[in-house]
Amino acid sequence: MSYPPHPPHRQPYQQSYQQPYQQAPGPYPSAPGWPQQYAGAMPMGGPPAGCEVCGASPAAPVTVRGHQGMLVIMRFLRRQGMFCRTCALAVFRDMQADTMVLGWWGPISVFVTPFTLLANVSALSGIKRIPAPVTAGWRPPLDPGKPVFRRPAGVLALIPLGVLGLLLLAVQILLVIGLVAESSGSDHPTLTVGSCVRNDGDWIDQDLRTVPCGSSDAQFRVSDPSTSVCLPEDHRAGLEYSEDGATSFCLRSLK
């Protein structure tokens, strides 16, 4: 006895798969290709930079330099970073005071240290433009302490600074004296025919001065080579002693 074939087996719970928690589409679907934005995200500019020492803000980049001179050894120091106004002022005062004490003990450091101090004064003007901290950091800021010239190091530095100032003043005075002496030494008298002169220098570097012919200081009489012949024993005056700067007078000995 034959039986009819069985119908294909059918799963009792077979059905199309659906997401159990399918989210309903929102009224404003996000654009494709862009990541989902979360509430409370920081703006693209990011938080303001904080001080690298204490974390307070606002902060700004600051560079303070220092110098140490020890005979033939020199050290060029630099502290650079993001600092709040308080920490930057503390770094400036400490490095400036140390440079004032330790920056003079070398022949080259004497000239390097003044430029380092002046560079820090320029940095101080930038530090003063940093606003006062409005956001506290994770630790207290550095203590600025007393101003530089109210510290023992600043008072001690007045000695080499004063000596350096006197040296610069002395150099300027010597230059002025040299220029005055040179200008006065180049004031050569203009010789005339028949006048008498004396030579206070040698004949290579003449220093002729006019004197009365009856004076005991008179050594030579001036004659014009165009009207009289210079003898072999006569001397020649420099061109700078003539009015036209091109005539060399004969100087005939009176003794």
Looking at 18-27, 70-79, 108-117, 142-151, which range is the least confident one? 18-27
Top-ranked range on mean pLDDT: pick from 11-20, 112-121, 164-173: 112-121
pLDDT per residue over 166-191, tens digit each? 888 998 898 888 777 665 555 678 88
Q: Does the pLDDT at position 69 exceed 70?
A: yes
Q: What is the dihedral of CA 134, 138, 141, 142, to 10 degrees?
A: -160
What is d(CA 65, CA 69) in angstroms, rounded to the nearest whole number? 14
Residue 118 pLDDT exceeds 70: yes
Domain boundaries, the chain: 60-164, 196-253
Tokens of 158: 């007045």
Q: What is the pLDDT of residue 249?
A: 87
Q: Which amino acid is at 127?
A: I
Give residue 174's identity as a one-letter amino acid code.
L
pTM of whole model > 0.75? no
Query: Which range among 42-56, 80-94, 125-139, 222-236 shows the weakest confidence by mean pLDDT?
Result: 42-56
Residue from 100, 231, 208 nearest 159 by CA: 100
Most confident of the following: 5-9, 61-65, 193-197:
61-65
User: What span, in angstroms and rounded, lies between the C-alpha atoms of 165 and 158?
Assistant: 10
pLDDT at 183: 57
Q: What percent of the chain has pLDDT over 70?
A: 78
Give CA–CA dist 121/243, Å, rounded: 57
71-112: pLDDT as tens digits: 888 999 999 999 999 999 999 999 999 999 999 888 899 889
Decide if pLDDT at 140 tops 70: yes
Cβ contacts of residue 241 below 8 Å, gap of 6+?
188, 189, 190, 191, 206, 208, 249
Name the least confident of 2-11, 72-81, 152-161, 163-172. 2-11
Q: Which residue has the higher pLDDT, 32 or 229?
A: 229
How many Cβ atoms from other residues are within 10 Å of residue 8's Cβ?
A: 5
Distance CA 122, CA 141 (A): 23
Interatomic CA distance for residues 166 and 105, integer angstroms: 18
> What pLDDT shows up at residue 165?
85
For the cut 80, the answer to whether the pLDDT of residue 34 exceeds it is no
pLDDT value for 8: 52
Mean pLDDT of the chain: 80
Lowest pLDDT segment from 40-54, 57-71, 182-196: 40-54
Q: Is 122 helix (H, G, I), strand (E, B) or coil?
A: helix
Note the pLDDT of residue 15. Answer: 45
Is the per-residue pLDDT at 255 higher than 90? no
